[in-house]
Structure 1
Amino acid sequence: MSNQLDMLDNMVSHGLADSARRTPEGIRELIASVRQAPIFPDVTDDDAEMLAREIEERIGVSMGLGSLVVAADDFEPWLENVRAEIEGGSDPWYYWSRYKKLLFKNKLPQDVIYGTDQVTDTILGRLGNPRDNRSWDRKGMVVGHVQSGKTANYTGLVCKAADAGYRLIIVIAGIHNNLRNQTQGRIDEGFIGRDTGRLAQVGTREKPKLIGVAEFDDRFTPVSLTNTIRDFNKSTATSNTSQIASYAVPVVLVIKKNTHTLRNLTEWLREHSANHSSEMVDQPMLLIDDEADNASINVKYGKSEVSRINGQIRELLGLFRRSCYVGYTATPFANIFIDPEQDEAMEEEDLFPRDFIIGLDAPNNYFGPRKVFLDGMPDDEEPYYLRNITDNEDVLPIKHGKDDELVAIPESMIEALRTFLVARTIRDLRGQADQHASMLVNASRFTRMQGLIRNRLQEVLDTIRDSIRINASLGERGLLDPEIAALRKTWADEFHDEWPDWNEIQSRLLQSTGGAKVVEVNSRVNDLDYSAAGDRGLTVIAVGGFSLSRGLTLEGLTVSYFLRNSMMYDTLMQMGRWFGYRGGYEKLCRIWMPPQAIGWYAHIAEATEELHEELRRMQRDRATPLQFGLAVRSHPSSLLVTARNKLGSGEKHVKIGLSNGYVETHKLNNDEEVLESNRNAARNFLIALHEEGYEPSKTKCQGGYLLEDVGVAHIDEFLIRFRNARESVGTTIPPLRDYIGQRAHDELDKWDVFIASVSEKQETSDLLGWPIGPAKRSIGVERLEDGILSISGRRARVASRGVEKIGVAAEDAARAEAEFTASHNLEGSRDVNFPDHIYRRARRKPLLVLFLISVRLPEKVETPGKYVGLLPNEPVVAFGISFPVSSRPDDKVEYVMNTTMLRELFGDEDLDEDAEMEDV
């Protein structure tokens, strides 16, 4: 049946090339017409309707062409001239044509394939011309999104580079074996056409197994010096030198980002060049650095010191007369251009993308940070996909040791498991039984603890499955079993609208979940193997740590359970394995994490989105990669990344620009004396403004009071009096005052002040002398006992969305919104969620927002009585500042931090592969 549906899908999809037929009615008419052929006897009307809906979803998916920032140099465009030669040959674009056919076969939306074609042309056109025999080197970066298709993009680039004449292609694929193996498999499928780790029996002989693109044409097979089982090895490579011969076909390597591997490869290239002339290093070489922010960064700051891997990549590039380095990343805050000691040193960094930076647009069906953390809900409402973990501390605290025992797992983890089993069953009922379904559990950095979690989860799964096996077939009587009843409650709470008939789910539970298994994925063991599945997709719960954090794709990821304490931007975003594409089951996805982590992710999502907007703007303004690098480094949100890169002993001096920045007191000192002092600071501030004629009745507006053209002296006086918590790093008072003071007589002399006040229907407070309705905000319990009020919730923001639009002229706001919708292809869309940063760029005066906050505990906190007594009795004062674009954006102010403070605030970093091995 599946073969018939696949064939029908392929025929209909090709028939839909005529855009006039790409309507709901046209799709169904074409399916009905093609179904009349006798080769589809088993396709039912229900199957045809399901296929029609799937095609509707697929052809509705589009992808923008991204943004391009290039150096102002004398680069000579070459691709169009070479294109004529390629297209005039006997096999035009041979490798790309095969790969494009594979993408169509894999049902990638047509518009996404066409978008990928155009974007990879753009990237290729900025590389060096492989037919130019003069010496050259080029360096660039491609900024994508986590789990959004970067591998597919650079596989397409590899194909096109090979067609254009590149003869040595090296892909550096992360720091773990499982990621390298996975990437090798993708290159095997999309470029080589052979399973490099497996032979097939052909008659009496074993031959390489043909896969992927070889289905369309298996000539001109590239030589691979690595395979899906083994990384680069000198002896294996030497044994293949006869295949390399005249370089008639490209040579490809997929290697781990490891000092041993890089050293071996560099030594082999030197030896090979010495023993067999210099042909290989004379070939044009393309090096693709996947996850370029991880381990490639120069993280040591002596004048001549560089990190080992950074130096080895530079050494490798230095062997070639003609080379290109392209770093792919989704976390640009942490990248190689972030933190040389001096601004002018940035361009001199050997891996700095001095020639080009390209920002990839994610297709509009991408299940990404904006959809998960930012879109569609009021700030205090529980997000659709997210669930809070508040019950772990007694059994699995976030801060635990490698030798701790684990006698039980949190109830929230068990509920996540139930949710996964029900979601798997609904997916099967929807016809997705042949697709993989995965659950991720990332709750410890220690491999020993990961093994214990795996064991406890397996015990719970066995108990649930025994009940399903015995009682699920009993209908209504089966609900007398507590496990079946609990599954039904999970369905009622989570998925009633997605599949309204519980009886169908209950009767299918055994078939859908009987093969479910819990596996461990880390440096010690990797039991995850999707290739082992037969006709039925795997149902797998993957337990791991850092190995699950970078690059590794969990097929059909549906439910995630994340319990970590890292606040480092790159680590957090890369841990987001739950981002990606969820065709046909997006509404079944759920993510469990602590409330504080939800806020961290939302903040990082907004900051990263700002950088993509910055790339678009810089393309329009014809800015250079160096200017983008400076913008990244001076962004307030880069403060933590920069400080992390500088970790060591003693004080760290970090320079940050506040131009076009927003900062707020998302953490407050919970000492009553400090809180009262801050109330007095706000009270005196408002009294002074009242004496200048600002009154509540004259300044009332939607959401509070807007006071225009307030003198900077009042702002400075308030900041002097406000006692900031050191945990609220961005609002450290001395740097703020320094920045304002430098501009107090020109661009920051007059301010807008907004006093936030919620609906008059709610109780108001005269605590500050004005009738103010305090905003209600949840406080993370993790820091309460440390004396910190840490704003939690979906965005970890004091401000509500849209606050930075306040004070922006209507015509300026409309212009910013129009630019945003145009750059995101959202013209005509309803209910566009405009991010605050677009208004900040349009702002002409700075904005100080004053908040009065009534704090509360998050919902569903275990043992709330333990924390209630720690909450302040009166509302507390917080503030935020939105700075407009400065005429001197490169002028920075200095923040002073120390290692102890950073570790107290944000926890220890996750371990690398070697460190994790030590914890076994």
Structure 2
Amino acid sequence: MSNNNIFETNFINVYSKEPFLSKSKAEMMIKNSKDTLKEMMGEDQKPNNKTGLLVGKVQSGKTANFLALISTSFDNGYDIALVFAGKENKLYNQNCDRISELFSKQDILKRDLKPLVKVIKNDKENDDVLKWINNGTKIVIIAMKENVSFDRIQTLLKKNENLVNKKFLIIDDEGDQGTLNANAFYENKNATKWNSEISHIRELIRNYSFITVTATPYANLFIDEKDIFLPKFIKRIIPDENYTGLDAFHSEESNNIIIIPEKDMILGKEHDVRFNQNLSIRKAVSTFLISAALKCIDLKINASEMLIHNSEKKIVHENIKSNIQNIIQLQMDYSKKRSDSIEFKKGYMNFINLGFEKVLNRKANISNKLDKELIKLVTESLPGIEISIINQNYKKNSQIHDDPLTIYIGAAMIERGVTFKNLTTVYMSREAKQANVDTLLQRGRWFGYRRQTIEYIKIFLSDKLKSRFEILRQLEEEMWDELGRLENGEYGSIEEWIKNIHFRLGDRKLQMNLTRKGVSPKMSKGYLKSWFSQTKVKLRSNEFEKNMLQKLKKEAIPLKFGNIKHGLKEFNNISEFELYMGESFESFLDKVNIDKSLWNAYAKNAINTNVNLILMRPDLDEKAYRTVFEENQEINLFAAGSAEYSFSTMDIESKNFYFGDRKIDLYQINANKITILVYSLEIKFVNKNSNLIASWKNEVCYAVHFPKTNHIYAYKKT
């Protein structure tokens, strides 16, 4: 590989100046790209024509990472980067801007008066591609996923025989969308058009690496083993500490979520004249204005954005826009009245207080200096609010505005890949009857590098959507843990890992699928294979469990895992463990949701497997607790640990750090053993307003990890 690193140096120089980045972080992206490059090339130092998968999180910086990979590839002999930059104009334009910005800097633009990189966005420049390459120029071809672009690229390749011998890096951004065969599930159906077109482009090129980039890789993992788009290697794009994702917005501690009452869910639908009565949307608009004003005062950030996503129907978008315009006009009229008038007090101040109560948990006090300033800012901002519909009817004119306050209304076109950097409020009530994990997760436009502004962000969701996002948080946590173990070499080949991976999707009543049915003929609902944990709190722990807990507290040997002390009780085999649990054994199985017949089948195959029973944090005694929302009774047992930046360099036996309950199986003392965690907790039940309504003390909860040498059978890729 070449030592010439002009493109890597340029990337580091450019991205060192980006918000939330630094020189060290840009250098880390390049280091990760070099690791990926090793997977992309064969022993002959040529591209190996394999599919790789880069998995990030929603709005976590995937674009910057694939630009780092392009830079590294150019420094190591690749000639052309072909970027499939999404299937919607907004994502395509954002990618074009980012790519052009990186490769148009003055220090990389020319060498001996020849351009080092040529970025091509349309077919007018196609005829000069070979000439530029022969002059030593690298080429970046940016294409939208559409038939016209595919035809253009195929024509270019067929016209230039020498071109197909060049080294290509193909980047498929949001590669779980549009690229995969959506007819795979159905027999005797031809492959979908785009799948065929991209496959044909791969056939035309002799030396290439194909890299899929996505935050939702579920469809990519469950396609047929013979499909060329099945990944042969997977790398994670790990976000840094400024990233706020599912764990930040949808944890028990989050105060960002506001529930839309069930009675409001029917409002705002097609031809629904009652939309003006929708108190939730008025609350959301008021909350947006108060949050925006507070953010302006505290952080000196003038711009704020609101997303409204409650229907895919264009007529509903028009209705919503009209009604919000009416809401704003009415408040403008009220605000001009005398402060002692009924209209001002009952009209304007009531509207203002809707937002105050959601943002500041109190009503406004006009004698308070801060409140006075907030009301003044809201009043001044009302005439300048931009309301923009983003859908197919407005495709040509719709854009992301620079106005101080903008409200966007739409559906699919405000989802995947589009970044709203000043997002402050979201109102989402659109519920698919059967939700796909990948589609729903991509709607989370509130995820991203928002650590500075997260306390000002409010998300209005239906109760079902809130529960679904909580399941997504658990699913993502489990998947990332599994991917880390894969990178660390725990599972051997990627083929074996994909064949055995399981995913848990929560209760059936939430009606969730992993991905689109048509894409994968080999998918069934299931569970990640390693951990089974209690996810619900329904019944009080019985006397048998409490007696077992007291016995364990007396007999468990104190043992430090990193810098955290737990208690350990060891058993030579499963039978000894079952005998120790006695009549609490049935409760254990019920709480971790393992069928007894399934356990017995496992026990027969792992009869001599050692069992470690671990009493979690006995030093906390009465102080350990978990918060549970009354309506869904869901619980997240696992306590987090030290931040993980590189699974492969993590020193699990370090005495200074504890890497979290979920990684406790990695400690040497638990190697190749069934590891069962026992928690003694206070369960605090809260209502939708986070008010404490009940408390259960000394509750016994469980989680169990099965060693990879003897996994329990469950649903998997068929």
Q: What TM-score results when the alignment is normalised by the length of structure 1?
A: 0.61
Pair 1:541-2:407 in alignment:
yes
Report Cα offsets for 1:596-653 as digits up to 9, x if no partner.
43343233223323333334344444765616743772344599999655848xx998
Equivalent residue, structure 2, for 1:252: 140
Equivalent residue, structure 2, for 1:517: 386
Matches within 5 A, 1:332-411: 332=217, 334-340=218-224, 345=225, 348-354=226-232, 356-374=233-251, 379=252, 383-389=254-260, 391=261, 393-397=262-266, 407-408=275-276, 410-411=278-279
Equivalent residue, structure 2, for 1:172: 84
Matches within 5 A, 1:40-439: 78=1, 82-83=2-3, 86=4, 92-93=6-7, 96-107=8-19, 108-128=21-41, 136-192=48-104, 220=115, 222-226=117-121, 236-237=123-124, 240-242=126-128, 244-247=130-133, 248=135, 249-258=137-146, 260-261=147-148, 263-265=150-152, 267-269=154-156, 273=158, 276-298=159-181, 300-301=184-185, 307-308=191-192, 309-332=194-217, 334-340=218-224, 345=225, 348-354=226-232, 356-374=233-251, 379=252, 383-389=254-260, 391=261, 393-397=262-266, 407-408=275-276, 410-430=278-298, 432=300, 436-439=303-306
Deviation at 1:556, TM superposition (A): 1.0
The DSSP-based 3-state class of the residue aligned with 2:449 is: coil
Equivalent residue, structure 2, for 1:480: 345
Matches within 5 A, 1:813-892: 835-841=660-666, 844-847=673-676, 858-859=687-688, 881-889=703-711, 892=713
Deviation at 1:501, TM superposition (A): 1.7
- Give the conservation status (yes or no) of the 8 Å contact 2:13–2:23: no
AA at the equivalent of 1:317: R
- Give the conservation status (yes or no) of the 8 Å contact 2:615–2:679: yes
Distance 1:588 1:819 in 2: 24
- Give the conservation status (yes or no) of the 8 Å contact 1:158–1:169: yes
Deviation at 1:892, TM superposition (A): 2.9
Distance 2:651 2:246 in 1: 18
The DSSP-based 3-state class of the residue aligned with 2:283 is: helix
Report Cα offsets for 1:465-505 as digits up to 9, x if no partner.
4444x269x799996363245425634652499x9722222
AA at the equivalent of 2:162: E
Tell me which moved more, 551-560 or 505-514: 505-514
Deviation at 1:560, TM superposition (A): 1.7
- Give the conservation status (yes or no) of the 8 Å contact 2:47–2:209: no
Deviation at 1:359, TM superposition (A): 1.3
Matches within 5 A, 1:530-569: 530=400, 533=402, 537-566=403-432, 567-569=435-437
AA at the equivalent of 2:40: L
- Give the conservation status (yes or no) of the 8 Å contact 1:559–1:589: yes
Distance 2:165 2:110 in 1: 33
Equivalent residue, structure 1, for 2:561: none
Unaligned runs of 5+ in 2: 363-367, 557-566
- Give the conservation status (yes or no) of the 8 Å contact 1:660–1:884: yes
Distance 2:332 2:38 in 1: 55
Deviation at 1:151, TM superposition (A): 1.2
Taking a change above 3 Å as real, the CA distance of residues 731 and 114 of structure 1, as seen in their structure-2 partners, is same
Identify the match of residue 444 of structure 1 among 311, 315, 320: 311
Matches within 5 A, 1:651-730: 654=524, 659-664=529-534, 666=536, 698=551, 711-712=577-578
Paired-residue identity, %? 18
Report Cα offsets for 1:334-356 as digits up to 9, x if no partner.
1412353xxxx3xx4312221x3
Distance 1:598 1:460 in 2: 26
Distance 2:578 2:606 in 1: 6
AA at the equivalent of 1:837: R
Report Cα offsets for 1:167-189 as digits up to 9, x if no partner.
33221223323222322222232
Distance 1:568 1:655 in 2: 12
Report Cα offsets for 1:106-129 as digits up to 9, x if no partner.
454333333333333433454348
Distance 1:635 1:660 in 2: 10
RMSD between superposed Cα atoms in Å: 5.2
Matches within 5 A, 1:572-721: 572-582=440-450, 584-621=452-489, 626=494, 629-630=497-498, 633-636=501-504, 644-645=514-515, 647=517, 654=524, 659-664=529-534, 666=536, 698=551, 711-712=577-578
Larger Rg: 1
Tell me which moved more, 166-175 or 487-496: 487-496
Deviation at 1:518, TM superposition (A): 1.7
Distance 1:706 1:136 in 2: 48
Distance 2:462 2:646 in 1: 36
- Give the conservation status (yes or no) of the 8 Å contact 2:437–2:514: no
Distance 1:736 1:860 in 2: 40
AA at the equivalent of 1:553: T
- Give the conservation status (yes or no) of the 8 Å contact 1:416–1:592: yes
- Give the conservation status (yes or no) of the 8 Å contact 2:264–2:278: yes
Taking a change above 3 Å as real, the CA distance of residues 840 and 695 of structure 1, as seen in their structure-2 partners, is closer
The DSSP-based 3-state class of the residue aligned with 2:60 is: coil
Deviation at 1:268, TM superposition (A): 1.8
Distance 2:577 2:210 in 1: 51
Equivalent residue, structure 1, for 2:559: none
- Give the conservation status (yes or no) of the 8 Å contact 2:569–2:612: no
The DSSP-based 3-state class of the residue aligned with 1:245 is: helix
Distance 2:231 2:522 in 1: 26
Distance 2:340 2:22 in 1: 41
Pair 1:746-2:600 in alignment:
no
Unaligned runs of 5+ in 1: 1-77, 194-210, 228-235, 669-677, 762-772, 781-789, 806-816, 862-867, 869-873, 898-920
AA at the equivalent of 1:220: P
- Give the conservation status (yes or no) of the 8 Å contact 1:740–1:748: no
Q: What TM-score results when the alignment is normalised by the length of structure 2?
A: 0.76
The DSSP-based 3-state class of the residue aligned with 1:295 is: coil
The DSSP-based 3-state class of the residue aligned with 2:393 is: coil
The DSSP-based 3-state class of the residue aligned with 2:258 is: strand
Distance 2:221 2:103 in 1: 31
AA at the equivalent of 2:629: S
Distance 1:177 1:818 in 2: 40
- Give the conservation status (yes or no) of the 8 Å contact 2:427–2:460: yes
- Give the conservation status (yes or no) of the 8 Å contact 2:40–2:47: no
Distance 1:575 1:324 in 2: 29
Distance 1:840 1:405 in 2: 57
AA at the equivalent of 1:118: K
Distance 2:69 2:717 in 1: 43
Taking a change above 3 Å as real, the CA distance of residues 243 and 750 of structure 1, as seen in their structure-2 partners, is closer
- Give the conservation status (yes or no) of the 8 Å contact 2:291–2:359: no
